[in-house]
Amino acid sequence: MKEELVEVPKDFGDADPSDSRVDVPSSWKASLKTAGTKSVSTETKPLVYEMAATQTGGSNTTGTQTDDGSKASKAPPKVNASGMMEFVKKVESMMAGELHKAAEEHEVLEPFTRAAEDEQEPAVCIHYLSPFQQDMTQQDLNATSTQINKHRLVVTCISWSCTGQTVAASFGRYDVVGWCTYPGALTTWNLGREEVNTSRADHRIDTDTCLMSCAFHPAHPALIAGGTFNGEVYVWDLSQEGDPQRGRSDVLLDARHTEPVIAVTWQYNLSDAAKYGTKDKSYRLVTLGADGRVLTWMWHKLEAPVYGYQLLYPQPGIDRKFVWGGACMAFQREPRGVSQQSESKGNAAVHGGEMAGTFLVGTEGGKIFKCYNDVNDASQKDFAKQLEKAERVEMRTPVREANYTPHAGAVFGVDCSPFQRELFLSCSTDGSVRLYSSLRMQPLLHLEPTASYLFAVQFSPFRPMVFAAAGGDGFVYMYDLMRSQDVIRPVLTLDTNGMRKPVYAMAFNPRKHDVFATGDATGIQVWKLPSSLTSVRRGEEALLRKTAVADDVAEMLRKSHGK
Amino acid sequence: MVDVAAVDETFKRLQSHKGVLGIIVINADGIAVRTTFDNDLTVQYAALVSHFTVKARSAVKKLDGENDLRFLRIRSKKHEIMIAPEFEKSHEYYLVVVQDPSQGTL
């Protein structure tokens, strides 16, 4: 270290060591000498441009095409068609002859082809409606007794509205003895809607006691009448907001039903039509009670009946007349042609069918009465006067004929043919269905589809020879007399509930040919009937007319079948 | 050339019969020459009927060489198919008429 310090002054040898100072002139801001200047330049080679072009060969267009097959095949006939004229001329007469023959043969063979069609398509259940089933679409937490059928109510009656859209069912019980403490209900479903809630009725009207019958107005689609177990008659207007009730019979009046109202029907009345001029007021209500009374009401003045009858008739062997309990009722209808069906039913001429005063009553005793409703203005006034004075009203008997061969059990169903005035059907708890002509005492046909009770019978409104009977075994038996074989058997049997629970009510839809409703202990089934039971067959009406006058209908049907 | 009007008239006459649904004339190749049906139905009828007719004819001929088929009628559940064949070489055609005899009688 020391050595280096000593060596330092050696570099500054020219310095005067005496004062140890070295002066180094500053070069700051002094011009620096550069080496001599020289101009230098660089140069690039000049750019050379060249033009060049390339080219490919020209393109070619080619096309291929196949022959149009269809066009090609059309061409030859034009060529081959020579001689067609001669051919057509030659065979025309032969063809015409055969066409004639075919038409003739068809007429003759028609019954056989019918026999060949024996295999019956089944009916399909399109809706099962019940207000008492679990509502699947809406989870109703406060489900009350109305949701659960705790009173074990059954369908007592079914009715279609005049438009054929809405089906109504009355709920009640048949096994009530004495006082009825069960509430009844009227429920309606509009099946024309896109979605039908099968567990929730569009309208549900609860009644104090069992509702035993209901009937839609024949011209007003929302008016419906019902009869209860204790004899009250109601009229409801379903189109009304709030309380739909339009009328209710007086429960204390002398002229009332004292027992369940078994049947309710609407009857066209000419004088009312003239008086009120409106379609809905042209109809009167006729009700049949189990007490044997037939009462006529004006639905808009429901407090008191317009007139009343009592089913008085002597029991054989006793000359004193006594009252027979009614079990079913049906009015005779003016026959209408099949062709008329499609026409509008709005006019009075067609409604004339319901004007006829003759009606049939099936009784609990098995007898069938033909009755006549001859009420006129004078008798109405008398009746009203008696009511006013609060006298005991003497009711006449409407019975005109009672000697029809009686059933062995209560007659729960009777229906008149819509096509042939004098024909009517009856069914009974003896398990038989009978076809009667009201002009003859012996039944034309006696059929026994089942050993159990039969609760209802009805003619098809569209097929003159078709009818249905509802059985206590859960089956509905459909008959088609056009297709009867040696033995007349049901052509179709509907199993309504699969549980052998009785079917109490049924109704053909008045507008839709293939819709049919049945009501049993569980709810309503709506069926779509096969076309074989809905489309009218040729000669059907003629055959029905023949049926009405034939001595031996079974034989006549067999012959017509095999002709 | 074919006298179109005369053929048309024949067609009309046949069509006027009760329940006639349609008429077809088929040539020897199984091709419809004239028809009143729509295209699809025509093609079907032409193909099926010509086959059937040839079969039927061969059956008749095999049973008796001198015999020949004159007319065919097929009755089905819905229709009656009538075939009038002509087997002469110069003009071999089948006239087919489809009829529903129950129509128009109800």
* A74-93 confidence digits (pLDDT tens): 444 454 567 788 888 888 88
Q: B68 to each of A89, A98, A101, A393, B62, how far by Cα in Å?
A: 20, 18, 22, 90, 10
Residue A155 confidence (pLDDT): 92
Q: What is the pLDDT of residue A561?
A: 67
- Tell me which residue has tokens 């087997």: B87
| pLDDT for residue A137 is more than 60 | no
- Bridge partner residues of A287 (DSSP): A264, A295
CB atoms within 10 A of CB A329: 22
> What token pair was written down for A421?
């005035």
Q: What is the pLDDT of residue A145?
A: 42
Q: How many CB atoms lie within 10 A of CB A40?
A: 5
Give residue A422's pLDDT band: very low, low, confident or very high (50, 70, 90): confident
Q: Where are the domains of chain B?
A: 19-99
For residues A324-337, give the mean pLDDT: 82
Number of inter-chain CB pairs under 8 A, A vs B: 99
Q: Is residue A14 very low, low, confident or very high in pLDDT (cuts 50, 70, 90)?
A: low
> pLDDT band at A515, cuts 50/70/90?
very high
Per-residue model confidence (pLDDT) at position B55: 92
Report the pLDDT value the prediction gives residue A415, as an integer from 0 to 100: 94
Q: Of A401-415, A475-489, B64-78, which range is least confident? A: A475-489
Closest approach of B63 to chain A, Cα-based (Å):
24
Q: Looking at residue B50, what DSSP letter applies?
A: H
Which pLDDT tens digit goes with each residue over A519-536? 988 889 999 998 888 888
CB spacing of B14 vs A95 below 8 angstroms: yes
A506 CB-near residues (< 8 Å, 6+ apart): A158, A456, A458, A468, A470, A476, A516, A517, A518, A519
Here the tokens at position A322 are 């006594």
On the question of pLDDT at A142 being above 50, the answer is no
The chain-wide mean pLDDT, for chain B, equals 85
CB of A90 less than 8 A from some CB of B: yes
Please indicate if any CB of chain A lies within 8 Å of the CB of B14: yes
Q: Tokens for A15?
A: 């310095």
Instruction: Please give the structure tokens belonging to residue A328.
Output: 């079913």
Residues A218-243: tens digit of each pLDDT:
988 999 999 999 889 999 999 888 88
For A108: left if phi > 0, alpha if psi spans -120 to 50, otherwise beta; the answer is alpha
* A125, two tokens: 């259940």
Q: Cβ of A98 under 8 Å from any chain B Cβ?
A: yes
Instruction: Please report where in the chains the tokens 């044997």 appear, as a residue.
Output: A292
Per the CB < 8 A criterion, the answer to whether B79 and B45 are in contact is: no
Amino acid at A488: I
What is residue A140's predicted lDDT score, i.e. its pLDDT? Answer: 46
Half-sphere exposure of B76 (CA within 13 A, CB side): 8
Place of tokens 């750019």: A47
Query: In this predicted complex, what is the ipTM?
Result: 0.81
Domain A123-136+151-336+356-562 has CATH 2.130.10.10: yes
φ and ψ at residue A467, rounded to 5 degrees: -150, 165
Average pLDDT rounded to a whole number, residues A291-315: 88
pTM tops 0.80 = no
What is the spatial distance between Cα B86 and Cα A220, in angstroms, rounded to a whole number? 65
The mean per-residue pLDDT over the stretch A171-182 comes to 85
Average pLDDT over residues A436-462: 90
pLDDT value of residue A348: 38
The percent of residues above 90 in pLDDT, for chain A, comes to: 24
> A94 to chain B nearest CA, in Å?
8
Residues 6+ apart with CB under 8 A from A38: none
Q: Return all residues near A373 (Cβ < 8 A) that are at least 6 apart.
A: A267, A286, A294, A296, A309, A357, A358, A359, A398
**CB distance A272 to A281 below 8 Å:** yes
Query: CB-hemisphere CA count at 13 Å for B102?
Result: 15
Query: Residue A121's pLDDT is what?
Result: 77
pLDDT of residue A33: 65
The average pLDDT across A297-310 equals 88
User: Pick from A83, A91, A538: which is nearest to B84 by CB?
Assistant: A91
C-beta separation of A263 from A287 below 8 A: yes
Mean of all residue pLDDT scores within chain A:
81
3-state helix, strand, coil in chain B (%, to 5): 35, 30, 35
**b/e for A189-211, b at 16 or more Cβ within 10 A?**
bbbeeeebebbbbbbebebebbb
Question: DSSP state, A413?
Answer: E
Angle between helices A553-562 and A540-549 (to 10 degrees): 150
The reported pLDDT for the residue numbered A17 is: 59
pLDDT surpassing 90 at residue A392:
no
A469 contacts A546 by C-beta, under 8 angstroms: no
Among A345, A213, A389, CA closest to A286: A213
Helices marked H in A335-419 — which ranges? 348-351, 377-388
Which of A403, A402, A446, A401 lies closest to A428, judged by CA? A446
Q: In sequence order, what are the beta bridge partners of A500?
A: none
Distance from CA of B23 to the nearest CA of A (A): 11
For residue A76, what is the enclosing H or E element? Answer: helix A69-80
pLDDT at residue A553 greater than cutoff 80: yes
| Residue appearing with tokens 């030859």 | A76
Q: What is the pLDDT of residue A10?
A: 55
> Whole-angstrom Cα distance, residue A547 to residue A420?
10
Most confident of A46-50, A156-160, A385-389, A489-493: A156-160
- The CATH number of the domain covering residues in B19-99: 3.30.450.30
Q: Look up residue A137 and give its DSSP letter.
A: S
In this prediction, residues A351-375 reach a mean pLDDT of 80
More confident position, A320 or A72:
A320
- Per-residue pLDDT at A336: 64
- Chain A, residues 42-81, CB within 8 A of chain B, namely 73, 76-77, 80-81
Contact B7, B34 (CB under 8 A): yes
Q: Is the pLDDT confidence value at A347 over 50?
A: no
* Residues B7, A88: C-beta atoms closer than 8 Å: yes
A91 neighbourhood in chain B, CB within 8 Å: 84, 86, 95
Smallest CA–CA distance from B85 into chain A, residue = A91
A536/B106 CB distance under 8 A: yes
| pLDDT band for position A112 (cuts 50, 70, 90) | low
DSSP letter at A254 equals S
Residue of A nearest to B88 (CA): A87
Q: How many CB atoms lie within 10 A of CB A378?
A: 8
Query: Binning pLDDT at 50, 70 and 90, where does residue A68 land?
Result: low
Residue A116 has pLDDT above 60, yes or no: no
Q: Which of A31-40, A195-204, A244-253, B32-41 has the least mean pLDDT?
A: A31-40
- The residue with greater pLDDT, A518 or A487, is A518
Give the pLDDT score at A11: 60
Answer whether residue A518 shows pLDDT above 90: yes
Q: For the residues A255-263, what does the mean pLDDT come to?
A: 89
From residue A404, alpha-carbon distances to A393, A401, A432, B47 in Å are: 29, 8, 15, 65
